[in-house]
Amino acid sequence: MARQPVVRHNDWGSLTPPALGEWEPTMPVTVVVPTFNYQQKLPYVLAGLAAQSYPAHLLEVLVVDDQSTPPQELPEVRPDNTRLIRVEDGWGRANACHLGAHQADGAILHWYDADMLAHREEVEAHARWHHLVDYAVPGGHKLFVDPTPLFDLDPGLVRDRVAAGGAADLFPGQEHEKHQWVEDYWAKTDDLRTAGPRAQRYHIGMTGSVTKALYDDSDGFDLTLRLGEDMHLGHSLAQAGGVFVVDREARSWHLGRSQVLRRAEQVNRFNDPYLADLVPTMRPKRNKRGRTYQVPYLEVVLQAGPADETIRVVDSLLDGDVPDLRISVVGPWGTVHEDRVQPVEDPVLETRLVHRSYLHEPRVRLVESAPATSDAEFVLTLPDVTMAPLPAAVSALLDDLERTHHGARVLAYASGTAARLERTSALARVARLADEGDDRETLLDESFGVKTYPASDVGWVPVAEREVERFVLGARPPMDPVRSENKLRRALARAAEPSAAAEVPAPPAAEPEAEHRRGLFGRRR
């Protein structure tokens, strides 16, 4: 089988999908429709899906009833192959969609909310991307309308109008509201083509689709989320190698304003702590200093060596400008024992010293083998413990990767070995693209970009030269309280001096969308 086409960064414009109506689909699609008390709207949703141009024998619709009251029943007008399943455990859209994904028969999963009305080619427009590559994540175009006039129409009539290509005329004379914040970002990034790794933040699940293969390779929906699940899913799919496509021919009506539009402030305030904890690309929701999160921005992996050097390297990383990290130290930690032995003659003394140094450090994991994958946005893999970063080195390298959207930085040591700082999503994309015999480094450079620096040129020094500052508190007689208070006030005054603030670079000028903030953490619009 020929290798899949390579998309660089998120520039899906390099793909050429067939024109609607001018190709022969072969892949079965399951449209997953989660519903909770949408008894009035669901008949029209299914009427639109019953009128699709996609071949009926390749189309399955799975309605997932999230414990509606009264229980949801299937209306008479619906696609031929429509099933109804009911949620028994858990609740919420993420839970319902995940259940649907695992019950689906199709090779393509198309999420479609129970307040959406599809134009005739909606499913076909999505599916054509998945016939090109297995890592596309198309999103459709939608307009918000008042659905009231629709309820005077028979669903069978709506199906017939959609099938005849008349979906655009179902709401004559009405003002149609755009999904404005999404449209604004699409316009700024050439429909996400130039968005790079930030494209995932604009994954809108109400009209999204993926291959089942990509979904299964990702972490999928987080079942604990009650809101914001589509943004988290975007992160999961990006980490699995997904590329986010905007297809304006995948058109739908949204029957009423979404909850996010109606209650934006409350929704974003609720979402902020969850998304900050789970989605490292949403860095504006994270503190610059002093915090760690469930899913780290950076994971560092190193093999434990001699205790002194290992501790210096790990302490140097913890001392740096990237507190949002996890360090996985690989070693034979199971050999650390409590048998009677002369402590300084212990055969596993080197291992014991490292083990005890980080046993209770929450940002360090002591593991027996290197993790095969990571949920972090970036992974830094060190070849040994001979070099250590200066405080600003790792942050500067990460910023370099963020600015270029590249996939990796190789840090060449004078010894001939090298450290690698890699974007997790880039590695996943390469894994999807690579055939047997492919040079993965060449493929990584082609799809994302790779650059090599001598480590000593970008803030890495021999480990013996890296000093981590420690507290100094000499033994002394008690100080007079008045004198101590004077020292306290002088220390506070020095910290507040303009000269201290002047050493910090001024923040960049606000972009147009930064003029307004919303949400618990002041998320930018």
> Is-contact 325 379, C-beta < 8 A?
no
What angle, rounded to 10 degrees, do the helices at 349-358 and 307-318 form? 20
Q: What is the pLDDT of residue 352?
A: 96
- The answer to whether the peptide bond before residue 478 is cis (omega within 30 degrees of 0) is no
Token code pair at residue 399: 């910023």
pTM of this prediction?
0.91
Q: What is the pLDDT of residue 464?
A: 97
pLDDT digits (tens, 9 = 90+) for 227-237: 999 999 999 99
Q: What is the pLDDT of residue 259?
A: 67
From residue 376, alpha-carbon distances to 12, 281, 451, 473 in Å are 24, 10, 21, 38
Grouping H, G, I as helix, E, B as strand and the rest as coil, residue 428 is helix
| 447 vs 430: CA distance, rounded Å | 8
Single out the residue of 416, 422, 425 nearest to residue 441, CA to CA: 422
Contacts of 321 (CB under 8 A, 6+ apart): 391, 392, 394, 395
Per residue of the chain (525 residues), give pLDDT as tens. Answer: 468 999 999 999 999 999 999 999 999 999 999 999 999 999 999 999 999 999 999 999 999 999 999 999 999 999 999 999 999 999 999 999 999 999 999 999 999 999 999 999 999 999 999 999 999 999 999 999 999 999 999 999 999 999 999 999 999 988 889 988 899 999 999 999 999 999 998 898 888 999 999 999 999 999 999 999 999 999 999 999 999 999 999 999 999 987 667 788 899 899 999 999 999 999 999 999 999 999 999 999 999 999 999 999 999 999 999 999 999 999 999 999 999 999 999 999 999 999 999 999 999 999 999 999 999 999 999 999 999 999 999 999 999 999 999 999 999 999 999 999 999 999 999 999 999 889 999 999 999 999 999 999 999 999 999 999 998 877 789 999 999 999 999 999 999 987 544 444 544 444 444 444 455 555 444
Q: For the chain, which domains are there?
A: 12-285 (3.90.550.10), 298-465 (3.90.550.10)
Single out the residue of 316, 333, 330 nearest to residue 371, CA to CA: 330
| 160 vs 57: CA distance, rounded Å | 19
Q: What is the pLDDT of residue 215?
A: 98
Q: What is the pLDDT of residue 474?
A: 76
How buried is 71 (Cβ within 10 angstroms: 0-12 exposed, 13-18 middle, 19+ buried)?
exposed
From residue 379, alpha-carbon distances to 14, 67, 382 in Å are 28, 41, 10
